[in-house]
Structure 1
Amino acid sequence: MEMRYGLIGAGMMGQEHIRNIDLLPNARVAAFFEPDDGMRAIASGLVPDAIVCNSVADLLNQEAINCLLIVSPNYLHVRQLEEIASQRALPVLVEKPLFTDPADLDRLVQLRNGYPAPIWVAMEYRYMPPVAALIESADRVTGGVKMLTIREHRFPFLPKVGAWNRHNVNTGGTLVEKCCHFFDLMRHVMGCNPVRIMASGAQDVNHKDEISAGPAPDIWDNAYVIVDFENGARALLELCMFAEGSRFQEEITAVGPEGKIECLVPGPGRFWPAHLGDPPVAQVIVSPRQTKAPVAVPIPVDPRLLEAGDHNGSTFYQHERFARALRGEGKIEVGFDDGWWAAAMGMAAQQSALTGQAVKFSDVMLTPGRG
């Protein structure tokens, strides 16, 4: 089966998807819709044989496509999924976050219950090679994860068309837009759902001097989030988006009664200062509790994949798994409920930070089981 993608949105992240799809066997972008002139021209250069469409409806009318990829601004995802459902319900890979507004609950319930084809939500951090190695070994190394810490120190949000990612109303807020990845990892590693979230966050440094035609940017640039899980384990997120000098962008640590495992993930190589030589290589460090003899294992990533995108090869591996699932060789690994929980956890964290109160999931109508 050849994967013939219809692409909705061909901006910065859409172009990363295009470059990675181009590396897959039996896969191509057959058609795309991108309303911005500049981004449309760049995408056309990447896939010159693809049909350029004037709307989502036009794209869905293209017989050449047999699956869909949504890479539009966050606030459009639910609306576009509904349009797809009503016109041509093909298998979909939809970028995170799945939704941005708690008011969309009823619409999401209808989509989940009525969509006849697979929906895969793009939680590509699961597929970064060092993170995947941690996920695979965490329970064995730790004897059962009791504490999970995710630390991201990185650069500010990049410029996007129309500066849509500078405003909470468009993104769902930083703890939804950026951190849904990390909440997904927490839930995936723990193997159960959260019960309570406490958070503190703010916009302290970034984007305050940016001038726009509309409201001033209000996206947060730092936060702490603590999550309690059903199994009694807990997780911590530390986010700082004015720390671009960091050697590693993500540091993830899982600890249990028998030991500790951590992974260190460098940021995009294109941001690494040339005068410092080669960028750092991702690694996983295993620290058994009894022997006190940590072992560090480098996790190199195929240079072609590093060149194709900013996510340590994860975009490629995600598409590879998506293709396997559609060919009947695997399962949908990141489904609708996974995307739902990741966004809902971000919304609960935003609410906690704004109110100063912990949020219990038993008290909110944000989760799939309460639809």
Structure 2
Amino acid sequence: MVRSGCGALHLAFQIIGRKSVTKTSIGYGIVGCGMMGREHIRNIALLPDAHVAAIFEPDSEMLGAALALAPDARPAASVAELLAMNEVDCVLIASPNHHHLAQLEEIAERRPLPVLVEKPLFTDVADAGRIAALKARLPFVWVAMEYRYMPPVAAFLKQASDATGGIRMLTLREHRFPFLTKVGDWNRFNRNTGGTFVEKCCHFFDLMRLILKSDPVRVTASAGQAVNHLDERYGGETPDILDHGYVLVDFVSGARAMLELCMFAEGSRYQEELCAVGGNGKIECLVPGPGRFWPAHLGSAPVPQLIVSPRNPPRPQLLEIPVEPQLLEAGDHNGSTYFEHARFVAAVRGQGKVEVTLQDGWWAVVMGLAAEISARQGRAIDLASEFALPT
């Protein structure tokens, strides 16, 4: 087996030291500053041509933590007040899932600006039709699908077609820790999250479409709540979110994909594993979880890997794809948040395209909702029969 550094696979971005704010610096308005919102703030601080101008966060403790990271930002008492600030050039939405759609609509109504919105776009089947209306009302919406921008996943995306000769089978596995505690425990209930397959797994459904370059036609799932949150009570209610499951997806192209999720497997060496197989061979991607969760007594955290295994001649090749320590320290997503923001800022400046569109975000949620329905009702979901698909 051949082992090498990341070489040409490494993304062509360099971290540039933080410069002072200038008139040409893009000013972000941040809506929501929980764990993910603060990860965004830390990564924006690494960009040479952007800064956090304003923050709306109703929880005082979270607001204080965010302002400590961005001391020059102005606090706002509402989304409306944030939008009224002239120094805000674009908006990042990182609020709880069930607020995303209404906040997008408020931005469209009050002051249409470019928006980077955290996944998922919406949480209820009944709201799927509201997404299309936003396209004409906002300059653009970029859905924050960080997993696309993890360096090992980006390398996988670049090589998958050639390595396989055309993907016929795709497997995505996530073995990880349970859902973390959030303000007000909003993430313990399907009515707020859209369900585990929406909240956690829309990243993977987005990757399926991106990797296979095809749209899904049928979703079948088997899942349950076996270990996590069973003894928790909130207002007398027991959390109803799934903690493990399988999802099978059939695509227009004839390719098949499977998601395997387990949220009580934090002892794993790698958190995400991607595997694509075609007539010419196989390619795999192994991604470790957040470094802060890696047990210190085990030494250094694992390094992401890409493994290419041709059929003829059989010769597996392993490449390590390390991520810069500065990026690992800035968040839990293997540097992806930085690369995502670099591209988003380029799009705000008119120097790049929107890479994760409203339609991409819509598909990811619909696939997750279909998986939730399938798992609970024990039937396959034909997407064209149950959702108004985009034309």
- TM norm structure 2: 0.93
Distance (whole Å) between structure 1 residues aligned to residue 390 and residue 38 of structure 2: 32
Distance (whole Å) between structure 2 residues aligned to residue 6 and residue 263 of structure 1: 35
Is 1:274 the counterpart of 2:292? The answer is no
Distance (whole Å) between structure 2 residues aligned to residue 294 and residue 240 of structure 1: 28
Deviation at residue 109 of structure 1 after TM alignment: 2.5
Deviation at residue 75 of structure 1 after TM alignment: 0.4
Which of 159, 171, 178 in structure 1 is aligned with 2:193? 171
Is 1:148 the counterpart of 2:170? The answer is yes
Structure 1: gaps spanning 5 or more residues: none
Q: Give 3-state SS (helix, strand or coil) of 2:238's partner.
A: coil
C-alpha contact (below 8 Å) 2:227/2:264 kept by paired residues:
yes
Q: Give 3-state SS (helix, strand or coil) of 2:129's partner.
A: helix
Q: Write the mapping of 1:185-196 to structure 2, written as runs, cut at 5 A.
A: 185-196=207-218
Q: Give the match for residue 281 of structure 2.
A: 259
Is 1:109 the counterpart of 2:158? The answer is no
Is 1:323 the counterpart of 2:345? The answer is yes
Which of 309, 330, 338 in structure 1 is aligned with 2:360? 338
CA pair 366-160 structure 1, distance change in 2 beyond 3 A: farther
Structure 2: gaps spanning 5 or more residues: 1-23
Deviation at residue 367 of structure 1 after TM alignment: 3.0
Q: Give 3-state SS (helix, strand or coil) of 1:195's partner.
A: strand
Q: CA RMSD in A?
A: 0.9
C-alpha contact (below 8 Å) 2:131/2:358 kept by paired residues:
no
Q: Give 3-state SS (helix, strand or coil) of 1:120's partner.
A: strand
Runs of 4+ more than 4 Å apart: none
Is 1:229 the counterpart of 2:251? The answer is yes
Letter in 2 for 1:65: V
Q: Give 3-state SS (helix, strand or coil) of 1:146's partner.
A: strand
Q: Give the match for residue 3 of structure 1.
A: 26
Q: Give the match for residue 112 of structure 2.
A: 89
Letter in 1 for 2:340: Q
Distance (whole Å) between structure 2 residues aligned to residue 144 and residue 302 of structure 1: 32
Deviations 1:88-122 (A, max 9, x none): 0100000000111111133222223x223010000
Q: Report percent identity of matched pairs.
A: 62
Q: Give the match for residue 51 of structure 1.
A: 74
Deviation at residue 251 of structure 1 after TM alignment: 0.6
Q: Which moved more, 1:40-49 or 1:323-332?
A: 323-332
Letter in 2 for 1:16: E
Q: Which moved more, 1:325-334 or 1:22-31?
A: 325-334
C-alpha contact (below 8 Å) 1:126/1:132 kept by paired residues:
yes
C-alpha contact (below 8 Å) 2:220/2:371 kept by paired residues:
yes
Aligned residues: 368
Which of 194, 216, 230 in structure 2 is aligned with 1:208? 230
Letter in 2 for 1:311: H
Q: Give 3-state SS (helix, strand or coil) of 1:20's partner.
A: helix
Distance (whole Å) between structure 2 residues aligned to residue 158 and residue 166 of structure 1: 9
Deviation at residue 211 of structure 1 after TM alignment: 2.8
Distance (whole Å) between structure 2 residues aligned to residue 239 and residue 261 of structure 1: 20
Is 1:29 the counterpart of 2:52? The answer is yes
C-alpha contact (below 8 Å) 1:340/1:368 kept by paired residues:
no
C-alpha contact (below 8 Å) 1:340/1:367 kept by paired residues:
no
Distance (whole Å) between structure 1 residues aligned to residue 130 and residue 239 of structure 2: 28
Deviation at residue 328 of structure 1 after TM alignment: 2.1
